[in-house]
Amino acid sequence: MAKEVKQRSGSRGAVLAGIGLVALVALLHVLGLPTLDRLGLLLFDSYERAAPRVYEDAPVRVIDIDDESIRRLGQWPWPRSDIARLTDRLGQAGASVIAFDVVFSEPDRTSPARIADQLARGGAEAATVAALRRLPDHDTQLAQSFAATPVVLGYFLVNDHAGPQVASKAGFAIGGSPPGDAVPAFRRSIESLPELNASAAGSGSVSLAADSDGILRSVPLIARQGNQLLPSLSLEALRVAQGAGSIMVRTSDASGETRGAPGQIVAIKVGQFEIPTTAAGELWLHYTRPVPARTIPAWKILDGTLSPAELETAVAGRIVFVGAGAIGLRDLISTPLRDHELGVIAHAQAAEQVILGHFLHRPDWAPGLEMALILGLGLGLAVLLPRLGAARGAFVGLGAIGLVGAGSWLAFIQRGYLLDPTYPVLALLLVYSAQTVLVFYREERRRAYIHSAFDRFLSPEMVRRIAADPDRLELGGEEREMTVLFCDVRNFSGISEHLAPKQVIDFLITLLTPLCDVLLARKATIDKFIGDAIVAFWNAPLDDPDQHRNSARAALEMVRKLGALNAGEGRDPDLAWPGPVRIGIGLNCGLCCVGNMGSAQRLSYSLIGDTVNLSSRIEGLTKFYGVSIAIGKALHDNLSEFAALEMDLVRVVGRDAPERVFVLLGDEELAGSSKFADLRERHNAMVAAYRAADWDVAGQQLPFLMEHGNVLGLTNLYALYRKRIETLIAHPPPADWDGIYDARSK
């Protein structure tokens, strides 16, 4: 019962710890922990690398002002007349819209009027200056080109200081509450020249905001300046390409939707395309690997390398993004697939995904599902793990982690859903780790307790066995069939009288150490030392099916070991050894109560019961009968193969029922000898005649027994019987005499 209560208590503590950790992970999931959120993003990056978007020939192209274009056409910025020529050729080739990831914020320094001003300041001829001033202005040429072709200009959004609002050409309609603070807000913009803006069909933000680790995983489709919503370059290009008038923004509470907080963006609709977004209006990008077919170098268009027919085939009906990829001009970004990618590629891929209807999307129900997994799997493992154990718990936990990971991966590749397994996996790992550590700590404490409690009283092998399997140790009281040994030094008071205190201690250590070594080698548990006495027992805390034989052999070996010590073997020759030392050993077996006993302040592993008391009385009888080892009838009945003789029928102090007491003389070898068999036969005949009050027959056996029993140390026993018989002959007992000897002392 005590074991079960302790196990339940330990399991309850582990379960509560697991529940607490699950609650902590759930709280972190609600609040958001940047480190863990980043782990989720890195996992999504690995998904993209493992399964990038397969490129499809969508109606999107990129015109790259690359290094070769700079080499062929000259240093950037090019004259706006060249940009106008590029725009005209793209427009004539049938581009549906041309979106510039370039901001023309300053007048063209190569315009004829500006060159004329420079020459005039340098003293050039007036005719030359006048002729230059009559030539067309490059910015005007570019504005005229923009007016003839659908163009979307880019602008930067910044927060360095306040400025005028962007004059957006796109209108917005809101379904639901107005977008909240999740939409990025900016105070100022850097736009192209007003003349150019006025000629363009649309304008959009080219600002891209990477995540905290510098990786661009999504593009903002809308931004906010004051109360005005502004489109991104890709969103505006899609609007202009379709000839749409306004952009529809649907928030979480539109049409009764309540799964998100009011004002969180759910989707953006432009023309025929509806785009699922984050709450901030961002589009998750699913990048393709680099595709040469998507990009056309600007020089091939401007120097005529591409014929009009080839150019028409390349760009007709397509949205064309123009960006700068030359060294020194690069608008570089980092993506899950590449460390260095052109910024314009992000706008182009966003437009591709919208047109193809290929979206990565983190649904608004994803946090709820992740929370359900945290609670369901985490709490389930917390409850089951103490019952399953570390090995099976690891199998279950790894299985759950595998299922969560596999579900997240399948959702990505099959539905484009971004479901983050980080927090559910963290909950499982924390629960398993914490509960395993707690169980390990508890087991180590149990092992430490076992070592501290038993390593001085058990053999090292037994301590290792208990420590390896503490459940085999039943702490608290329990009843067991046990064998108990009491060993006492004869005449210890007389010995102590002639030795100094330190000499007494040295004597006891020299004597008791080898005797205890014998006991431990025979799997005994040493209970206690009572001065010069040893109390030991068998069959606890570990089962010992051979307890009776082990106890008998231990007693016999202790007597032999004492003989060796008396002969000087194994002891310091300078030690004060008080002549031949004798011991008395009492043994008995029976039912005992064993376990932790004592008070609330101090406990010891010990045993109590009638068997213990009787063993102590039997040890005391060895002095009276002059033998080294005496055993009770219960133990004798389990040692039929050992050499033992019945000594007497004794009523010991404190017990009403008499006990048959035997002397243990040797092991199987002695018991099997013919001389001992003859001695046992005559001994039993003597005892039987004595109990029958047949003094003559009993007395006739004594000369033989005294002669042959002397070798076995039975001289005092037979001398006692001879004296008894003589006394009984002289003073006959009453008719109801039962032959029981009443011991008057312990």
DSSP 676-712: HHHHHHHHHHHHHHHHTT-HHHHHHHHHHHHHHHGGG
Q: Which residues pair with 97 in a beta bridge?
A: 319
Do 138 and 108 touch, CB atoms closer than 8 A? yes
Pairing of strands 202-205, 659-666: unpaired
Biggest CA pair distance of the chain: 172
Would you state the pLDDT for residue 471?
Answer: 55
pLDDT at site 116? 77
DSSP designation for 642: S
**pLDDT of 136-183, one tens digit each?**
889 999 999 999 999 999 999 999 888 788 988 999 999 988 887 889
Q: Which two tokens stand for residue 730?
A: 């002289």
626: left (phi over 0), alpha (psi -120 to 50) or beta: left
Pair of tokens at residue 73: 């056409």
Tally of CB atoms within 10 A around 327: 8
What is the C-alpha to C-alpha distance for residues 418 and 47, in angstroms, rounded to an integer? 10
**CA-closest candidate to residue 379, choices 431, 336, 422, 320:** 431
Q: What is the pLDDT of residue 430?
A: 92
Give the helix, strand, coil percentages of the chain, each rounded to 5.
50, 20, 30
In the chain, which stretches have pLDDT less than 70?
1-10, 255-261, 330, 444, 447-476, 598-603, 746
Answer for the pair 171, 121: CB distance below 8 angstroms, yes or no: no
Question: How many Cβ atoms sit within 10 Å of the Cβ of residue 163?
Answer: 14
Reading the block at residue 234, the tokens are: 């890709």
At 467 the pLDDT is: 60
Q: Quote the pTM value.
A: 0.64
- Domain ranges across the chain: 2-50+363-449, 60-356, 481-666, 673-741
Instruction: Single out the residue of 514, 488, 498 nearest to residue 569, CA to CA.
Output: 514
Alpha carbon distance 311, 86 (integer Å): 11
Asked: is 481-666 a CATH 3.30.70.1230 domain? The reply is yes
pLDDT at 684: 96
